[in-house]
Structure formats: structure tokens, C-alpha cells
Amino acid sequence: MINSFDLFVFHAFNGLAGNWTFDRLANFEETNDLLKGALLLALYFFFWFREGTGQEERRLTIISVVAGAFLALVVNRALAAGLPFRVRPMYMGGIGYRAPSIAVNYNLENWSSFPSDMATYFFALAFGLVYFARRLALMMMAYTIVVIFVPRLYLGIHFASDIIAGALIGAVGVWAMRNRLTDRILGRPILAFGRSHPAAFHMLMFLIAFEMAVIFMHVRHAAHGLMAVVGHYGLAVVQLHLAALVLGLGLAAIAAIGLGLALRGQRRQAPAEQPSSSAADI
């Protein structure tokens, strides 16, 4: 179903499609991971390694923000799978869609348009910065709307309600995971593992951050390959949400391995014994 608000916003942005400059700018923003995931992740690396008081609290917060973003994605996929399928504007006839004048390298999956998983993911990361610097968070949320969301409206990838719903899911997911229970169950064991196994911890941190920066591109490519195999053997009925399943299982496996190693490292880490002084020592 399309309401009047969605159509108004859709025509306001997509009605400009066909312009030589706007088409190329939208294509550039849609395909440039450096301006999207990499920039947001770089800010989190800054706060992770920033020295001074409160460093451990900042790191606990970052872990909870990442966990909240993953939780929001799971909720997003569950809603998309359970709600009626919504066709993307670019594939919907009779609404006055205007195609761009160039071939665009769309970064999307053949999933329901509502809610937007990209809006969920990027707004979760932008919103999470509010725990470190509120002005920066507001700037990055505005940046996310202009640089990431507007091109998707312009190209007809999403309606406005898709993006608004996705952004709300992302913000709520991050807010829900910022609590002491998350710190105790997830954050502190991970930090303990990082202190006891810094090399392994930073290796895993790099791999996870790399996939987050490129919007899980390699995980999605693996899912596409698996879908092709399934389709080859005539099991097309399970292809619709197979990519989402692989993504969820992959993230769950990473989290389970990291948590298991963290708990193991925490058990092995014995408190340092304080040397006792005596008259003989003196």
C-alpha cells in the first residue's frame, strides 16, 4: 500500500531523475562504501582508541552499539519476512517512476522494500554516536539522511516510509542494547578477552569491522552463491530469505565464537598477586 505522503516524497525526489549531474551523483553515493560504512566505522575506531578517563566505558558502549545494530537488522528482516511483500518503487508500474539516464550499480537485494535494512543499519550506527558526542551524532544522522537515504529515494529503491521505519528500528535497537546487562553478558567478557589475547582480539575486530564497512558484501556474495546452488537443484521455494538466513547465521557464528573465546579468556585470566613487603625484603 502506498499513502499520499510516500507518493509526494517519491515524486519530489525521483521527479528530478534524468538530470546528468544528479544521476551521476546518486550513482556515486549509492556505490561508495567509503562515504557510508567506512566513515561511520572510522569514527567508532577513534572513540575506541581514544585515551583518557572513561576509555573502558566507551568501549563497552561501542560493543553495545554494534550489538544493537545487529539486533535491529534481525528485527528488520523478521518484519520484512512477516509483513506483506512491498515492491520497490523502481519496479512498481503506474506511479510515474523516472529511470536515471545512466546504468546505476544498485546495492540492493531482492527483498521487500519495507522496512529498509540499509536505513536500519546506517541510522543505528549514526544514532549510536550520541553516547560519545551529541553534536557529532546529530551531524552524522543528518549526513546519513542526505548522503545515504536521499539517493535511495531519488533512484526509486525505497519509499519514504520504508526509510523512516528502518531508521526507527535502528535507533531503538541501539537504545535497547545500551544497558548494564549487555555490559555484563557481552561487553566485559569481550574486553577481558581483548586484554588476555590482544592479537586474536584485534584480528577478529578487524574482520568484523571490515565486513561492516562494506555492508557485509562478502557475506551477501556467499549467500548469492548458495542461492544459485539451491536454485540449480530445484529448491527455489527457499531462496527468498536464504540470503537473510546466511547473514544472520554468519553474524551469530561470529558473535558466538567471539563470546566463547572471551569467556574462556576471562576464566584463564587470574588476578595479579600483589607482592608482599617484609622486613627481610627491605
- For the chain, the DSSP string reads ---HHHHHHHHHHHTTTT-HHHHHHHHHHHH-SIIIIIHHHHHHHHHHH--STTHHHHHHHHHHHHHHHHHHHHHHHHHHHHSPP---GGG-TTS-----SS-------SS-SSS-HHHHHHHHHHHHGGGT-HHHHHHHHHHHIIIIIHHHHHTTS--HHHHHHHHHHHHHHHHHH-SHHHIIIIIHHHHHHHHH-HHHHHHHHHHHHHHHHTTTHHHHHHHHHHHHHHHHTT-GGG-TTHHHHHHHHHHHHHHHHHHHHHHHHHHH-PPPPPPPP-TTT-
**Residue 237 within a domain:** no
**Residue 70 within a domain:** yes
Mean pLDDT score, 3-30: 91
Domain that holds residue 59: 4-197
C-beta of residue 197 within 8 angstroms of C-beta of residue 262: no
**Residue 223 within a domain:** no
For residue 282, what pLDDT is reported? 40
The total of structural domains in the chain comes to 1
For residue 94, what pLDDT is reported? 86
For residue 234, what pLDDT is reported? 58
Mean pLDDT of the chain: 83
For residue 229, what pLDDT is reported? 66
- Most confident range (mean pLDDT) of 130-134, 209-213, 233-237, 254-258 is 130-134
Q: How far apart are CA 214 and CA 23, in angstroms?
A: 22
C-beta of residue 118 within 8 angstroms of C-beta of residue 148: yes
- This prediction has a pTM of 0.78
**Residue 264 within a domain:** no
Mean pLDDT score, 66-83: 92
**Residue 227 within a domain:** no
The CATH number covering residue 125 comes to: 1.20.144
What one-letter code names the amino acid at 203?
A: M
Assign 277 a pLDDT band (cuts: 50, 70, 90): very low
Mean pLDDT score, 130-155: 94
Whether the predicted pLDDT of 217 surpasses 60:
yes
Whether the predicted pLDDT of 110 surpasses 80:
no
**Residue 276 within a domain:** no
Whether the predicted pLDDT of 247 surpasses 60:
no
C-beta of residue 152 within 8 angstroms of C-beta of residue 215: no
**Residue 235 within a domain:** no
Whether the predicted pLDDT of 43 surpasses 70:
yes
Whether the predicted pLDDT of 168 surpasses 90:
yes
**Residue 213 within a domain:** no
Mean pLDDT score, 117-122: 94
C-beta of residue 12 within 8 angstroms of C-beta of residue 124: no
